[in-house]
A and B are shown apart, each in its own frame.
Chain A
Amino acid sequence: MGYGWMLIAPIAMYVLIAGAVQNISSTGTKDINNPVPWIIIITIFTPIAIGLMIFGYYAIKGEYDKLPENSEEL
């Protein structure tokens, strides 16, 4: 499943960027037509997507097969 999580991250980023390109418009009046929310959302979402890829990588490496039971194991 780890590969699946790693794949979802770039797909999500692609959907966001494609959404921005398609909807930003100087004539529209909705939030989705305004570039500012898109810039904020893509900025905050990029590290989250990278986090999901790292999560997938950890899952592939079996890091979540046995979760730590106390702080010594962290």
Chain B
Amino acid sequence: MPPFFSISNIILKNLVSSFSIIFYMIPQNESKGIGKVIFSSSLGTLIEWYDFYIFGMLAKTISTQFFPEGNETAALLSTLAIFAAGFLVRPFGALFFGRLGDMIGRKYTFLLTLVLMGGSTFLIGLVPAYKSIGMAAPMLVLFLRLVQGLALGGEYGGAATYVAEHSPAHRRGYFTAWIQTTATLGLFVALGVIMAVKANMSDAAFNSEWGGWRYPFWLSILLVGVSIYIRLKMSESPLYAALKKEGKTSTNPLKESFGKRGNFKMVLLALFGAVMGQGVIWYTGQFYAQSFLENTVKIEFMQNREILLWGIGLATPFFLVFGALSDKIGRKWIMLTGMLLGVLFYRPIFNSMLQSADAKEWLKSDIVLMKEETKILFNGKDSVLQIATQYQAANQSKFTRVLHDTLRQGQQPNIKKATEHAVYQDKILATPLKWKFIGLVWIMIIFVTMVYGPVAAFLVELFPTKIRYTSMSLPYHIGNGVFGGLVPFIATLLSATYTNDPLVGLWYPIVIAALCFVIGALYLSNKIDEQVND
């Protein structure tokens, strides 16, 4: 059995058993109906997250296939696909589908978002490459990516509202926490599927025009089909159905949500006192950590994913733990504690990763030369000499040192100078060190579970039934899509300005989380609103 399958099997078994135990903890009379509601809502939301993530994770291949270098229009479309889908279209989707959900009901709205998301994902997998159909390829992909962003903006608010409106007041935090696991599990499944496909074929087969990178997109139609079948059997939310029967649904949810001062001030409080900080903690723990390990620490591709899979797999049950705890002690302080821990510990955690995998330090101890490869890369008039040497350090970790030097006619290569600018990459950590990294990622995901586990119940309780879908969707998607999504961009901006500190990018999530912590601590209430049917 390939190593990846054994790892993923262990993690999946752990997850299933943890979830089974926690699901078993639901009293029988409560679990009968609500279990079905949670399962059908969560499965669809998980698939939507999966669909959204695979595009980002395969961005490098997608860009080669659809957005070739050297073509300015294609480059513009690529930038739009990356930035517009997350920043502009997600909040717009929240408004569009939120309004629809408050006017025609939760069930049909989040069924529609699922169809749009699944359909567009599947179609991305069918678009021929740029070399076959030219500019039509990037234009189609951009359009489908924007549909994905729109659908994602509408999905979460519907699913969270739907589950919350089925839940008994004393377990709302716990039941809605199941929806909260989906964003992380979607990432987990996306990572797992991509790794499984990649592990079973060569890089050339994976990256070819109709190669393996398309399989995760095609798989989506199967997953969405199952989820649509399940969701079609669901009934409308009882609170919304009662409101509709009484003729009390909103005729203009946007105006009531954002035009009425009493409600608008709560939308602002939700954004600046809770979701803004939650968004950056969520993004830093799950995405920035991965990119930091890959691009700054330079851990080898598969081991980087393995570390993340273990960290996520072992931390995911804690969404439910903190959701349940919020039913006992309130939502506010759990979320704010998660933010504060991020503020205090992000720099020490990331610094520990950087120091523990410092190959220059490893070189000072006994090292074993594993192999050396010398290449001459032709680059116009001059050539570039590349020497890649793989070593094994005393702690059993492996790494590759790459030296580059430009060869000019009549000059000897300057190996000493090249050594000063050596790049240490493809680090494969020895088992104890790998587990240390898994532990550090796990801690960061625990912060995520603290801020993200109770947030759905918190948002649901903040707004009345008739405008709930609209009112909670917008701050959620601004907090996660805009504030969270800006983490890599601002990190690049800070790194380009302050080049001496490799951890400088962390100041953005730290400052936003600290600001949100202060606003939340000052203005949020810790009281659980038992009556959400008003």
**A binding-site residues for B, Cβ under 8 Å:** 1, 5, 8, 19, 22-23, 30-32, 34, 36-37, 40-41, 43-45, 48, 51-52, 54-55, 58-59, 63-64, 67-74
Contact = CB atoms under 8 A, between A and B. Distances in A.
A30 B489 CA distance: 10
Interface string B489-528: 1001100110000000000000000010011001111010
A69 B461 CA distance: 10
Contacts of A41: 83, 87, 486, 489
Contacts of A71: 464, 534
Given A40-B80, A64-B523, A67-B525, 14 more contacts: A5-B272, A31-B492, A36-B76, A36-B80, A36-B83, A40-B84, A41-B486, A44-B91, A48-B271, A58-B268, A59-B523, A70-B531, A74-B260, A74-B262
Contacts of A31: 79, 82-83, 489, 492
Contacts of A23: 493, 496
B478 interface: yes
B131 interface: no
B88 A69 contact: no
A1 B447 CA distance: 27
Contact of B87 (A5, A40, A51, A73): A40
Nearest to B267: A51
B350 to A, nearest CB: 21
22 contacts: A19-B493, A32-B493, A32-B496, A34-B79, A37-B82, A37-B83, A41-B83, A44-B87, A48-B271, A51-B268, A52-B268, A55-B268, A55-B269, A58-B265, A58-B268, A59-B523, A64-B265, A64-B523, A67-B269, A69-B527, A70-B529, A70-B534
Contacts of B523: 59, 64, 67
B482 interface: yes
A72 B489 CA distance: 42
Interface in B61-102: 76, 79-80, 82-84, 87-88, 91
Task: State which size class the interface on B falls in.
Answer: 35 or more
Contact of B534 (A8, A30, A36, A72): A72
A30 B265 contact: no
B464 A74 contact: yes
Contacts of B496: 23, 30, 32
B263 interface: yes
Interface in B461-503: 464, 478, 482, 486, 489, 492-493, 496-497
B79 A36 contact: yes
B88 A40 contact: yes
B440 interface: no
